[in-house]
Each structure stands twice: as C-alpha cells, then as structure tokens.
Amino acid sequence: MEEYKSEEEFLKNYDPKQYEQLSMTTDILVLSVSDQTQENYRKTSKKMMSILLVKRNNYPFKGKWCLPGGFLDVKKETLEQCAMRILKKETNLSHIYLEQLYTFDEIKRDPRMRVVSTSYVALVDKNKLTEMINQDASWFDITLIEEKDNLVDITLDNGEELITFQIKKTLKESTTDRYYFSISKNKSLAFDHPIVILSGLERIRNKINYTDIVFNMMPEYFTLGELQQVYEVILGKKLLDPAFRRIIADKVEKTNKMKTGEGHRPSVLFRYKRK
Amino acid sequence: MEEYKSEEEFLKNYDPKQYEQLSMTTDILVLSVSDQTQENYRKTSKKMMSILLVKRNNYPFKGKWCLPGGFLDVKKETLEQCAMRILKKETNLSHIYLEQLYTFDEIKRDPRMRVVSTSYVALVDKNKLTEMINQDASWFDITLIEEKDNLVDITLDNGEELITFQIKKTLKESTTDRYYFSISKNKSLAFDHPIVILSGLERIRNKINYTDIVFNMMPEYFTLGELQQVYEVILGKKLLDPAFRRIIADKVEKTNKMKTGEGHRPSVLFRYKRK
DNA sequence: CCAATAGTGTCTGTGAGACAGTATAAG
DNA sequence: CTTATACTGTCTCACAGACACTATTGG
C-alpha cells in the first residue's frame, strides 16, 4: 500500500469501500514552551511556544508535516482515550492536560474518504519528556504575527526546517465577533492542520487569563520572570512587571530556592499553588 | 422496525451491521426567550430561557424527550449543514445563530451502535417563528438551580409536562477549574442530553459577557428592561440598573419608538447597534 | 563599575458596585 | 394618589496601567 509513486496514483488505487463509509480521527495540538539560549551571557534565555509535528511517511500528504493523530478505534475507545493513546505513543507521556478543541468536518478535508476529526489541545512540560519520541516527530518553535486585514502569518521552526502558512479570518455573516478561518498560504502542512493550529493557539490565549492552564507547561519550580515570559509569548504582548505580579500572586507560592548564575540578580523560585 | 413492544426487544432485533460501524449525529440546543405574563396588570412579563425539545416516537428512548437532531449524511453535508437542515425541518427557520458546542462520544451513549454526536447551540428569536413546528416538538421554560456540592438541578416546563434532572459536576483530576458532568437524576430525557443541555447553557452564560450573542434572541425593538431581564435569566442573578446600562450602552441605539400601556412609565425601545 | 534582570512603592484614572433620587404611565 | 417600572446622578472602592526607584549578581 505504500509503493505508489505519486499522490494521484495512490488515490486512484484507494478503495474507500474497503473501510467504513465514515471514519473519525483525532488530531492533537501538543504545545509546550521552549528556551532559546542567548549569545549574551547576561541575557535570559528567550521563551517560545512550541508545537509537536510529525512527518508523514504515508500517502496522502506523504512528506508533509502534520499534527500527531490517528483513527478512532470504534469498538474500544473514546476520542479522548484515542488522543491519550496517540500522545503516549508519540511522547511517552501520560496524565497530561488534554482538552477537546473543535470538530473539523469539511467533506473533502481528507482525500481518501469522509473523515471527521475531533482535535484536542495537550499542554505539556517538555522537561518531563524523558525518552525521546518517534523518529519522525519534531518540536517547532511558533511565531505568530497578526497582520491588518485579519491575516495571520504563522512560522514554525525546528532548527532545520521552516514551515510558514497564512490564514485569513473572515467575519461570519451577521456577526461582529465570530470568524471562520481559511488557509490562504500553505505548502508544508497536511490536511486542514493550519486551521487547527490557529484555533488551538487562540483557545489557549483566551483561556490563559481566567484559568490556570499555563502551569501545565511549567516545570515544578520557576521564576516569575520565566512565568511572565510564557504569558507574554502566549498573549503576544509585553506585560508590566508589577501588574503581572499582582495578577498571579495568589496562584503561586514562594519557595526557599533561588535561581542563580545568570549574570544578574538571582531570582526566587516559585511553585504553582492550587486553590 | 417500529413494531417492537419494548426497548429490550427492539435492541435484541437491532442489527448494527445493517449500518456502517460508526455513525455521527448532530444534536441542537435551540434556545430562545419566552415571556410569562403576570396576573398583576402593573408587573412586566417575566422572561425565561426556553429550549426546544422533541418527543421521540421511535426506539430507542421511545416516548422520551430529546434535543432535535439526526444522522449526518456522510456524502453530502457538513455537521453544521446537517444541523441547519434539521433546524429548518423543525422550526422552519434559517439564517440562525449556530455555534458548535462539543462532541460527545461515550462508547455506549447510543444503545444501537457507536454514535458520535457533535452538538450545536442555536439562538433564535421566537417571534420570528411563523409557521409552527413539528407536531412532536415543544418549547420548555428552563429553571436552573446550582446547589452546593456542585449539583445542578434543571427543570424544564412546557405548561403540560415537567422534566427534571440533576447533574453532578466533578473536578477533573489535577485541575482547579475544569469539570466533567455526570447525570445523577434523569427520567424523561433521552441519551446524554442532560449533559448537552447543561454544557450549552454554561457556554452561553460564559459568552454573554464578551460577545453580542444575546441579540440573536431579541426581537428587533426591545426595552433595556427586557434586555436586562434576559441577561439576568442567563446569568442567574440580578443586575444593578446603572451598571447594566453602562455595559450595554455602546451595543444598542435608541429609537424614537416607545413601549406604552404597561401600567407604569413607558420605556424607550432600543435596537442592536453593530460595531 | 556596567549590564541586565529582580523586585517593590506609589500615583492616577477607569470603571464596577451601590444607593438614592427623580420621572411617568395606568388605574 | 398608588404602584411599578424607567432612568439618572454620584460616591466609593478596587484595581489595572504606568513609572520610578532600589537590589543584586557575574564579569
């Protein structure tokens, strides 16, 4: 089944009837925070959001990157269990923050047959990743730029490869605050995954202010500067120190540990405080 | 297929293989606002949230009430189009506010076979309902009471029949702000619809403060008192007049119409002002 | 000392909460 | 005149935004 020379040939030989008429998959947006160490010894390492992608070695979209995902085992598992299973397979992580994002169901979103995909967002702390993942998987740093005219440019960078795509946000008919997304530029990502990614990033951005989800991406001990950087990178804007500290004051607790050796004043390490 | 005497007999004779292995449905939470006229001529009519339910005349759950919904036509339509089609069939309404809510996929949620259901919330203005709907459909007024211990009691009333159920909200493992819902009392509603209903009501409650969705349930002209009542019934609490008027000031515009004949001072009619 | 971040004190303006007061129709 | 709602004025308190200042390390 993997010997075809082109996507066209593959599709010509693909028989939808050998499967059920309708299938479901899950796609998982595995998000984490990465550090980019700076040349200047004084500067702190720069935080970025990063996302886990997998290189496809099967048709369709052979050779393109995509979100980790897979088919639902109809007899045995729920969609969330399916996502957990795939997450475990790719990252060897379990007990992870996992949240249903959206169900994508355009009729032609998968060229093989009708596939409806329910996407999930997983937030992980990279430091807990002991065994490395799947050979074909890789972490990409995310850069998101919101232009005028409701165009969003996203760049993903894993150090070797740059993936860029652009999404257009169009106001839904007779609304003032709801958009649908359409892909306006995309070369390297499979399926409708550009839209899934933007949806997930916006979900996290919205939730960061009224939930405690950030701490799923933080190590146990962190400085307030680090935490603030994560907020800034998710929200896409700078925050003022005193205001930030006021906001998160009751979510964290001081420990007696310090982070030193950074070329400037040491910082107290904090820990997430559950309510 | 409809001649069975009991649910057990029906299920015994039901052959899942005559269908595909996995099916998808949509369930639609059609929400609107109703008026309950008061005996006292001075008092304004009391607003309530109301929801459209359909009485099932097929197995499974024959005789119980459920959300309007139906199977996805895999070849022809998206889930949203499917929801629109059903909405049109039940209410004869189109161009309606429709928003994807959540995908419910418990393995045994449908006793026939594996059915995954993507639910939608529709907000409608009842006044636009010209032709009456399906014989088996009926509007139910909603009363929601949040008890201690994260128990939620919901009562639905269509004037003839009272439907009550209770849902328990349990904190998800290692979170402080995410719950899953389980049905703790339910006699009259089919499937997992109690959970769908509560999810939808919470979604609307959350969105009312940062979107303009309310106006989808309002007639073209309304008084600020009426609008405030709708907010109050959705949020489940009283609001202070001056604060409310400040908040919605830039979302509405005064017209030169008045509402009179109410046994007290007349009220200016407003209209939704798009930004 | 310098560069860079850590961490705090405090002013100011905005805006929500609260309450009280005035306005005006039907009966 | 009464009742019920419509609508407005204004005080207060909390808090986000803003800025300035002090503290502390490695080199």
Q: CB count, 10 Å around CB of B59? A: 20
Rounded distance in angstroms from the CA atom of residue A228 to the C1' atom of nucleotide D25 = 21
| Candidate from A222-231, B31-40, B211-220 with smallest mean pLDDT | B31-40
Label residue A185 by pLDDT band (50, 70, 90).
very high
Whole-model pTM: value is 0.93
pLDDT in tens, B111-130: 989 999 999 999 999 888 86
| Candidate from A3-7, B2-6, B34-38, B93-97 with smallest mean pLDDT | B2-6
* Min Cα separation A168/chain B (Å): 19
Chain-chain contact of A107 with B72 (C-beta, under 8 angstroms): no
B99 contact residues in A (CB cutoff 8 A): 178
Q: Is the pLDDT of residue B174 over 80?
A: yes
pLDDT in tens, A192-210: 999 999 999 999 999 999 9
Q: How many residues does chain A have?
A: 275
Which pLDDT value is given to residue B2? Answer: 47
B78 contact residues in A (CB cutoff 8 A): 105-107
Give yes or no for CB of A43 within 7 Å of strand D: no
- Locate the chain A residue with the closest alpha carbon to B215: A175
User: 3-state DSSP call for residue A241?
Assistant: helix
Rounded distance in angstroms from the CA atom of residue A30 to the C1' atom of nucleotide C22 = 59
Percent of chain A scoring above 90 in pLDDT: 79
Percent of chain B scoring above 70 in pLDDT: 93
- Locate the chain B residue with the closest alpha carbon to A101: B102
Nearest nucleotide to A42, CA against C1' atoms: C4
Residue A237 touches chain B, beta carbons under 8 Å: no
CA distance A154 to A185: 10
Q: Is the pLDDT of residue A253 over 90?
A: yes
Nearest nucleotide to B38, CA against C1' atoms: D4
Strands (DSSP E) contained in chain A are 22-36, 46-55, 65-66, 69-71, 97-104, 114-123, 137-146, 151-157, 162-171, 179-186, 222-223, 252-259, 267-272
Which pLDDT value is given to residue B39? Answer: 86
Q: Is the pLDDT of residue B72 over 80?
A: yes
Residue A114 touches chain B, beta carbons under 8 Å: yes
Q: Which nucleotides of D are covered by protein (CB under 7 A)?
A: 3-10, 15-20, 23-27
CA distance B55 to B135: 9
Which pLDDT value is given to residue B1? Answer: 42
Which pLDDT value is given to residue A135? Answer: 82
Residue A79 touches chain B, beta carbons under 8 Å: yes
Average pLDDT in the A46-69 region? 94
Question: Is A185 in contact with A212 (CB distance < 8 Å)?
Answer: no
Chain-chain contact of A212 with B75 (C-beta, under 8 angstroms): no
Q: Is the pLDDT of residue B7 over 90?
A: no
Chain-chain contact of A103 with B100 (C-beta, under 8 angstroms): yes
Which pLDDT value is given to residue B210? Answer: 93
Q: Choose the closest CB to B116 out of A24, A173, A211.
A: A24
Which pLDDT value is given to residue A165? Answer: 98
B20 contact residues in A (CB cutoff 8 A): 20-22
Average pLDDT in the B15-30 region? 78
Which pLDDT value is given to residue A3? Answer: 58
Label residue B63 by pLDDT band (50, 70, 90).
very high
Q: Is the pLDDT of residue A5 over 90?
A: no
Percent of chain A scoring above 70 in pLDDT: 93
pLDDT in tens, A99-115: 999 999 999 999 989 99
Q: Which nucleotides of C are covered by protein (CB under 7 A)?
A: 3-10, 15-20, 23-27
Which pLDDT value is given to residue A271? Answer: 97
pLDDT in tens, B131-142: 667 888 999 999
Which pLDDT value is given to residue A15? Answer: 56
Which pLDDT value is given to residue A37? Answer: 87
Q: Which residues contact B243 (CB under 8 A, 6 or more apart)?
A: none
Label residue A38 by pLDDT band (50, 70, 90).
confident
Which pLDDT value is given to residue A58? Answer: 84
pLDDT in tens, B194-211: 999 999 999 999 999 999
Q: Which residues contact A79 (CB under 8 A, 6 or more apart)?
A: A24, A26, A72, A100, A118, A120, B103, B105, B116
pLDDT, chain A, mean: 92
Which pLDDT value is given to residue A132? Answer: 63
Residue B22 β-bridge partners: B114
Let me know how many helices (H) and strands (E) chain B has, helices first: 5, 13
Label residue A174 by pLDDT band (50, 70, 90).
confident
In chain A, the N- to C-terminal Cα span, in Å, equals 53
Which pLDDT value is given to residue A154? Answer: 98
| Candidate from A92-96, A161-165, B24-28, B79-83 with smallest mean pLDDT | A92-96
β-pairing verdict for A114-123 and A22-36: parallel
Q: Choose the closest CB to B102 out of A75, A100, A274.
A: A100
- Locate the chain B residue with the closest alpha carbon to A211: B177
> Which residues in chain B, range 231-260, keep a C-beta under 7 Å from any nucleic strand D atom?
241-242, 245
Q: Is the pLDDT of residue A184 over 80?
A: yes
Which pLDDT value is given to residue B11? Answer: 64
Q: Is the pLDDT of residue A120 over 70?
A: yes
Residue A157 burial (CB < 10 Å; 0-12/13-18/19+)? middle
**What are the structural domains of chain A?**
23-207 (3.90.79.10), 218-272 (1.10.10.10)
Give yes or no for CB of B73 within 7 Å of strand D: no
Own/partner contacts of A199-206, CB < 8 Å, gap of 24 or more, are A199/A101, A199/A102, A199/A119, A200/A29, A200/A31, A200/A101, A200/A119, A200/A121, A201/A31, A201/A49, A201/A142, A201/A144, A203/A99, A203/A101, A203/A121, A204/A31, A204/A121, A204/A123, A204/A234, A205/A234, A205/A235, A205/A236
Q: Is the pLDDT of residue A1 over 50?
A: no
CA distances from B271 to A136, B253, B275 (A): 56, 5, 13
Residue B272 touches chain A, beta carbons under 8 Å: no
Percent of chain B scoring above 90 in pLDDT: 79
